[in-house]
Amino acid sequence: MKKTGLFLLGLTTGAAAAAYIAYRKMDDEKTKEFVNSTVKTANDLKDRALDYAFYALDSVDDVKEQLQYKTSDAKSKIKDAAGKVNDNVVNKAQYYYDEGSTQFHKAADNLRNQVRKNADDSQDIVIDPDALKQEDNLSK
């Protein structure tokens, strides 16, 4: 591993030295052309890096929008479901209340009618205390 690292370091240093020597041996016109080409390539790379950064930011914004849409959609669905459940509970409670009160009223009316009917049909029973004394005397 150490030998490989030293080999790569030597190779890189040698290539850099060769490039420097070649650069120095160029005439002025080729040097300007080489510098302009290098600057143009560097600017193109910067522009491409900026474009990719903007693409990444746009992608993040799109993901945020999708997440907000899905979250708001889920919230509205939950609210709708809760509202339906609440309406069902209220409706059932109202139904049982109405049904129960109706049954209570019917039962009370039936009881009143029975009491009235029994009051009209029956005769009063009168117990004479003297009659009880006579029965006691007879049994002795």
Q: How many CB atoms lie within 10 A of CB 31?
A: 13
Nearest to 85 by CA among 74, 75, 77: 77
Spatial contact of 23 and 34, defined as CB atoms under 8 Å apart: yes
Rounded to two decimals, the pTM is 0.39
Which residues in the chain show pLDDT less than 70? 1, 100-101, 119-127, 131-140
How wide is the angle at C-alpha 29 spanned by C-alphas 27 and 34, nearest 5°?
A: 95
Block residue for tokens 């302009």: 36
Spatial contact of 23 and 31, defined as CB atoms under 8 Å apart: yes
Q: What does the chain come to in residues?
A: 140
Question: Across 1-140, where does the E strand assignment appear?
Answer: none
Half-sphere exposure of 83 (CA within 13 A, CB side): 6
Q: What is the pLDDT of residue 111?
A: 82
Q: What is the pLDDT of residue 55?
A: 94
